[in-house]
């Protein structure tokens, strides 16, 4: 696609965008009397306007029926979570049996590790990416310690090479090969939250299985962002939050995938609760846990209906749009952001003709640290603003941009295909240019 750094071009793209109707289905925060340029859907997705009705319906049914809402609510609460299996399976490329929506991300990561991190004296290590999201690091460390191992020995982190921002795929495969006799679990974020790098989950799963390890992914930045095929890739398990790309509200209920090959196994270790018990006999309230034959076996508590109502509003929208359309637009929109940033660098170079332009680290240069290859990124671009500090970011904020700042000088921007426009990206570019 040939991009142009003009408002006319951006507006024209918005007119022909098949998803253009979705922007108005969301609330945008207002800044200085107009809609903010919201580029933080990777942190907290915007609120669909429909969400209020979904939540209000449950409040009404609660008021009307009290406890009987478990049976008589418009969507009976007893089986409320079951509505998610099919549409969520489509979002992450799974079979409905492999999906359960429950708890929150870090809690689910722990529960899944109870089942799938079963270290032995020889095979006890966990391989992960260096600088994983802190909550994941804490979860892995505490699991390792819980089993009596030393994180310094038991956690293998694959890091980018000296002077690079992204981890090389071959380095991950090499680390798996090198530790093939001692790795119990490979647990990586499908998309790195910091630089937006997408890992080759299919190849990592294959290599992990060949090495005799279990392979799981944290998909916090991948669910609703990438076209995933968790079932076909043979991933053992995955979990994600629903408040980032999935627009289900702050701290909303999390999602879990457990591959069919791990279901319905009597010997699986798990922390159990009544909502994981076989549905037919759940309310006999008898001793001895009989697990559901699906991913629901991991569910412990009854459904948190109010946060699930918000999730339901978002999932219905995703079901209507489909991941194919989202990913198609995401590639164009993210490509546009990349183009605009490159353009800004060019004009900056021309301003400083007298300086040495071969030095990419010069003051004000915007270095994209997200992979340039479309297959290795979703809709996030992370930029290092060389020589600039927080004041650059403050200027962006003052001018109406909501993006994400990471010390010392990284700006993370996520143009989300469901509600962001080409004009948003153009406006961001103009604001960034004048802030520099």
H/E element, 395: helix 390-398
In contact, 25 and 49? CB cutoff 8 Å: yes
Could you give the count of Cα atoms lying within 13 Å of 397 in the half-sphere of its Cβ?
10
Which lies closer to ligand PLP via its Cβ, residue 256 or residue 435?
256
- For 346-385, give one letter per residue: b (16+ CB within 10 A) or e: eebeeeeeeeeeeeeeeebbbbbbbbeeeebbbbbbbbbb
State in angstroms the smallest separation of the CB of 304 from ligand PLP.
14
Residues 6+ positions from 224 with CB-CB distance below 8 Å: 45, 91, 244, 245, 246, 247, 318, 323, 326
CA–CA distances in Å: residue 312 to residues 50, 66, 191, 196: 10, 21, 24, 27
d(CA 69, CA 77): 6
State in angstroms the smallest separation of the CB of 107 from ligand PLP.
7
Which lies closer to ligand PLP via its Cβ, residue 221 or residue 311?
221
Which lies closer to ligand PLP via its Cβ, residue 244 or residue 388?
244
Which lies closer to ligand PLP via its Cβ, residue 245 or residue 365?
245
State in angstroms the smallest separation of the CB of 252 from ligand PLP.
9
State in angstroms the smallest separation of the CB of 220 from ligand PLP.
3
Which lies closer to ligand PLP via its Cβ, residue 239 or residue 411?
239
d(CA 130, CA 192): 10
State in angstroms the smallest separation of the CB of 189 from ligand PLP.
5
Which lies closer to ligand PLP via its Cβ, residue 106 or residue 421?
106
Tokens representing 406 are: 């990471």
Rg (alpha carbons) of the chain, rounded to whole number: 23
Closest CA relative to residue 314, chosen from 14, 18, 25, 20: 25
Which lies closer to ligand PLP via its Cβ, residue 42 or residue 312?
42
State the residues that interact with ligand PLP by CB under 6 A. 104-106, 133, 135-136, 189, 193, 218, 220-221, 241
The pairs formed by 172-179 with CB atoms below 8 angstroms and a separation of 24 or more are 172/129, 172/199, 172/204, 172/207, 173/203, 173/204, 173/207, 175/127, 176/127, 176/204, 176/207, 176/208, 176/211, 176/213, 177/207, 177/211, 179/125, 179/127, 179/211
The angle that helices 305-321 and 51-65 make with each other, rounded to 10 degrees, is 140
State in angstroms the smallest separation of the CB of 280 from ligand PLP.
32
Tokens representing 75 are: 């969507």
Which lies closer to ligand PLP via its Cβ, residue 71 or residue 138?
138
State in angstroms the smallest separation of the CB of 86 from ligand PLP.
23
Which lies closer to ligand PLP via its Cβ, residue 77 or residue 193?
193
State in angstroms the smallest separation of the CB of 191 from ligand PLP.
8
State in angstroms the smallest separation of the CB of 104 from ligand PLP.
5
State in angstroms the smallest separation of the CB of 167 from ligand PLP.
15
First to last CA, the chain: 27
Which lies closer to ligand PLP via its Cβ, residue 13 or residue 108?
108
Which lies closer to ligand PLP via its Cβ, residue 98 or residue 136?
136
CA–CA distances in Å: residue 216 to residues 113, 208, 257, 294: 9, 10, 9, 18
The CB density around residue 198, as the number of other CB atoms within 10 Å, is 23
State in angstroms the smallest separation of the CB of 186 from ligand PLP.
15
């Amino acid at each position: 696609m040939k991009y142009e750094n003009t408002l006319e071009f951006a507006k024209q793209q918005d007119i022909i965008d098949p998803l253009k109707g979705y922007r108005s289905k969301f609330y945008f925060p207002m800044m200085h009397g107009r809609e903010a340029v919201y580029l933080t859907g990777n942190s907290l997705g915007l609120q669909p306007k429909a969400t209020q009705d979904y939540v209000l319906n449950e409040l009404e049914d609660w008021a009307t029926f009290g406890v009987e809402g478990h049976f008589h609510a418009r969507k009976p609460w007893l089986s409320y979570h079951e509505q998610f299996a099919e549409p969520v399976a489509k979002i992450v490329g799974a079979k409905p049996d492999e999906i359960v929506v429950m708890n929150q991300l870090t809690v689910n990561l722990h529960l899944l590790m109870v089942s799938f991190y079963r270290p032995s004296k020889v095979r006890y290590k966990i391989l992960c990416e260096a600088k994983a999201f802190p909550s994941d690091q804490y979860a892995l460390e505490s699991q390792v310690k819980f089993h009596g191992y030393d994180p310094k020995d038991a956690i293998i982190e694959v890091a980018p090479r000296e002077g690079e921002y992204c981890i090389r795929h071959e380095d991950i495969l090499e680390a798996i090969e090198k530790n093939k006799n001692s790795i119990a679990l490979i647990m990586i974020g499908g998309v790195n939250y910091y630089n937006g790098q997408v890992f080759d989950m299919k190849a990592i799963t294959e290599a992990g299985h060949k090495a005799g390890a279990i392979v799981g992914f944290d998909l916090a930045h991948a669910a609703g962002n990438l076209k995933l095929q968790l079932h076909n890739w043979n991933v053992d398990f995955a979990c994600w939050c629903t408040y980032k790309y999935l627009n289900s509200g702050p701290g909303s209920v999390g999602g879990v995938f457990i591959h069919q090959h791990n279901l319905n196994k009597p010997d699986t270790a798990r922390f159990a609760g009544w909502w994981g018990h076989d549905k037919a006999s759940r309310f006999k309230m008898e001793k001895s846990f009989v697990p559901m034959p699906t991913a629901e076996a991991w569910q412990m508590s009854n459904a948190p209906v109010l946060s699930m109502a918000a999730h339901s509003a978002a999932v219905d929208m995703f079901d209507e749009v489909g991941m194919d359309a989202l990913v198609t637009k995401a590639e164009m929109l993210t490509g546009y952001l990349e183009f605009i940033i490159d353009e800004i660098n060019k004009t900056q170079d021309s301003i400083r003709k007298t300086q040495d332009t071969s030095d990419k680290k010069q003051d004000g240069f915007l270095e994209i640290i997200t992979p340039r290859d479309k297959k290795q990124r979703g809709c996030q671009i992370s930029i290092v603003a060389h020589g600039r500090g927080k004041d650059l970011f403050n200027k962006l904020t003052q001018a109406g941009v909501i993006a994400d700042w990471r010390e010392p000088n990284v700006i993370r921007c996520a143009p989300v295909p469901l509600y962001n426009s080409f004009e948003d990206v153009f406006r961001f570019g103009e604001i960034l240019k004048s802030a520099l």
